[in-house]
């Protein structure tokens, strides 16, 4: 079967199959195989228990573990030793193309799902596979599967409801196809409007500096440089919040701030020219967008060498012309080590970015940041965080956690502490769990001795009596601890509930006062 457009073909895979294909490519790389074969793909399709294949296997009484075992046996015979990127095998691409025809014609689906791949495999089993796993799959009656497909796969995570299908068709009728920006970027400004981004504190100077650079006509590309954990991404999120609130100059008001996912951009781009096509598609859509777009590239050092292969340039070289002309406003972020290693050694790239230094904040600034974000952690963990705990988190993290930087390590400490309290309120304390395990161990020993006694085996009767007494003693301790824990848990839950109700009442009073005093 002739494959005209590989990129277009793979775009028809549904999200689950796309992720499975990417995982299959990773599996091929890890085993140093030269191709991403059908068996790599099928093995990864079996990883998800709530997809089409497990449901079909259950209907036709096929053991998934046996299929997985036979697939592994086939992969063991594949030739290894490849140090480069594997390519998609022609047989795999044929299977995907035939699956697309089955999905479109027989299943009336707009995307290829794993069930369509299985139907294609069963249509020509001798052509696609020679391994013993195919003997197991042949027990599936293809005609019965096709007739009962919707019923069998109704609980599947790949199932698309009628409403979703209509919505998808409507979107595709407007756009024609899924754009590069939709596939490889996330919209920070959209997340900010939906309240998915926490407010940023203590970085006003750096945000203002970024705004100054972005407002330029040329060389309007800031690069945030700082150690891991100082808050480079948070600064960009803070800029997104300001854009949404309109607290920015006219030059960047109304823009969209998108973050480029380099991992998605490179995933599955093993074919020559595929990576360059994707990146050029992103750049072109940004230029043609009716809404001005600012592109954020985290871990920007991965640009250097990304997608580079024989006869092609890396991502940095593809971006340089647009950056130099000011056609592509970009915010980059990287660490000092990577900046010196990659950017300083490439003056042509470095001069297209304007440096924004992000130093590690002191404990006072970190405390300010924690005060600003603690409400989010209170809601997430359903606990109350006192101000002295916030100060202690900054000071303890700074003093005792080495190898990491503020505010990241202080935020992690606060988050872990909140999680620990939340867990303690919901689960048994470790002392009670240890006591229950020790009782269970003694009971197992007691049962073993009694069984030996029934079989006329000589046992230590004194030890048997000691075990009985110890079980009774520890069981009393367990009951006492359980009652105490339940009382303390209920009391703590009542305190948290009263505090939340008091907080809500105060907020309502303040809002009412503000509304009454408004002109």
Identify the pLDDT of residue 513: 78
Identify the pLDDT of residue 166: 41
Identify the pLDDT of residue 394: 92
C-beta of residue 319 within 8 angstroms of C-beta of residue 211: no
Nearest-5° angle of CA 256, CA 258, CA 260?
160
Identify the pLDDT of residue 270: 52
Is 0.75 surpassed by the pTM of this model? no
Q: Which two tokens stand for residue 213?
A: 């650079």
Q: How far apart are CA 395 and CA 390, in angstroms?
A: 9
- Name 112's bridge partners: 13
Q: In sequence order, which residues have a C-beta less than 8 Å from that of residue 241 and are 6 or more positions away?
A: 192, 197, 199, 200
Identify the pLDDT of residue 273: 59
Per-residue pLDDT of the chain (519 residues; tens, 9 = 90+): 444 467 777 888 888 899 889 889 888 888 889 899 999 999 989 888 888 988 999 889 888 888 888 888 888 888 888 888 888 888 888 888 888 888 888 888 888 999 999 999 998 888 887 778 888 888 899 899 998 998 888 888 888 644 444 444 444 433 434 577 887 888 888 888 888 888 888 888 889 999 998 888 777 889 999 888 888 888 999 999 998 888 888 888 888 899 888 777 776 555 555 677 778 888 888 888 888 888 898 888 877 755 444 333 467 777 777 787 777 888 989 988 888 888 888 888 888 888 889 888 889 989 988 988 888 888 888 888 889 999 999 999 999 998 888 888 999 999 999 888 888 777 888 888 889 899 999 999 889 998 888 888 888 888 889 999 999 999 999 999 989 888 888 888 888 788 878 878 888 888 887 777 665
Q: How far apart are CA 224 and CA 263, in angstroms?
A: 20
Helix (H) or strand (E) holding 149: helix 142-152
C-beta of residue 23 within 8 angstroms of C-beta of residue 47: yes
E-strand ranges in 309-465 read 329-334, 354-357
Torsion of CA 436, 439, 441, 447, to 10 degrees: -140
Nearest to 198 by CA among 382, 331, 380: 380
C-beta of residue 322 within 8 angstroms of C-beta of residue 208: no
Find how far residue 428's CA is from the centre of its chain: 30
C-beta of residue 227 within 8 angstroms of C-beta of residue 405: yes
Identify the pLDDT of residue 5: 60
Q: Which two tokens stand for residue 61?
A: 């009484």
Find how far residue 209's CA is from the centre of its chain: 31
Q: In sequence order, which residues have a C-beta less than 8 Å from that of residue 214 and are 6 or more positions away?
A: 220, 222, 251, 252, 294, 329, 331
The DSSP code for 112 is B
């230094």: which residue's tokens?
357
Identify the pLDDT of residue 507: 80
Q: How far apart are CA 84 and CA 89, in angstroms?
A: 15
Q: How far apart are CA 227 and CA 338, in angstroms?
A: 10
Q: How far apart are CA 33 and CA 51, in angstroms?
A: 27
The DSSP code for 331 is E
């Amino acid at each position: 079967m002739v494959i005209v457009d590989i990129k277009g073909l793979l775009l028809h895979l549904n999200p689950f199959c796309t992720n499975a294909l990417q995982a299959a490519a990773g599996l091929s790389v890890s085993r140093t195989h030269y191709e991403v074969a059908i068996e790599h793909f099928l093995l990864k399709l079996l990883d998800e228990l709530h997809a089409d294949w497990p449901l079909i296997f259950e209907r036709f009484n096929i053991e998934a573990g046996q299929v997985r075992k036979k697939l592994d046996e086939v992969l063991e015979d594949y030739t290894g030793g490849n140090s480069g990127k594997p390519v998609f095998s022609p047989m795999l691409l044929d299977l995907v193309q035939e699956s697309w025809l089955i999905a479109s014609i027989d299943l009336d689906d707009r995307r290829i799902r794993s069930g369509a791949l299985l139907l294609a495999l069963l249509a020509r089993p001798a052509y696609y596979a020679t391994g013993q796993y195919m003997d197991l799959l042949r027990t599936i009656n293809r005609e019965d599967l096709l007739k009962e497909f919707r019923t069998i796969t109704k609980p599947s995570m790949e199932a698309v409801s009628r409403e979703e299908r209509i919505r998808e068709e409507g979107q595709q009728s407007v756009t024609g196809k899924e754009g590069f920006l939709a596939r490889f970027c996330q919209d920070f400004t959209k997340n900010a409007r939906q309240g998915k981004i926490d407010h940023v504190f203590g970085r006003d100077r750096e945000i203002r500096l970024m705004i100054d650079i972005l407002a330029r006509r040329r060389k309007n590309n800031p690069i945030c440089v700082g150690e891991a954990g100082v808050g480079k991404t948070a600064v960009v999120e803070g800029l997104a919040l300001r854009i949404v609130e309109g607290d920015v100059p006219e030059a960047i008001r109304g823009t969209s701030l998108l973050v480029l996912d380099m991992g998605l951009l490179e995933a599955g781009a093993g074919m020559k020219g595929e990576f360059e096509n994707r990146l050029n598609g992103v750049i072109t859509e940004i230029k043609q967008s009716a809404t001005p777009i600012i592109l954020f590239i985290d871990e920007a050092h991965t640009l250097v060498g990304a997608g580079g292969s024989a006869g092609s340039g890396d991502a940095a070289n593809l971006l340089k012309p647009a950056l130099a002309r000011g056609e592509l406003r970009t915010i980059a972020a990287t660490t000092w080590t990577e900046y010196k290693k990659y950017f300083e050694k490439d003056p042509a790239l470095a001069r297209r970015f304007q440096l924004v230094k992000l130093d590690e904040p002191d404990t006072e600034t970190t405390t300010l940041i924690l005060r600003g974000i603690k409400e989010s952690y209170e809601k997430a963990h359903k606990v109350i965080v006192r101000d002295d705990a916030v100060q202690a988190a900054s000071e303890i993290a700074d003093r005792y956690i080495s190898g990491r930087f503020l505010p990241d390590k202080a935020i992690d400490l606060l988050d872990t502490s909140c999680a620990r309290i939340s867990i303690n309120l919901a689960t048994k304390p470790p002392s009670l769990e240890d006591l229950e395990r020790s009782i269970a161990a003694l009971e197992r020993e007691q049962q073993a001795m009694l069984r030996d006694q029934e079989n006329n085996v000589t046992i230590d009767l004194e030890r048997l009596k000691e075990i009985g007494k110890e079980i009774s003693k520890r069981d009393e301790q367990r009951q006492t601890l359980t009652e105490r824990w339940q009382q303390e848990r209920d009391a703590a839950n009542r305190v948290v509930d009263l505090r939340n109700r008091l907080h809500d009442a105060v907020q309502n009073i303040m809002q009412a006062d503000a509304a009454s005093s408004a002109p």
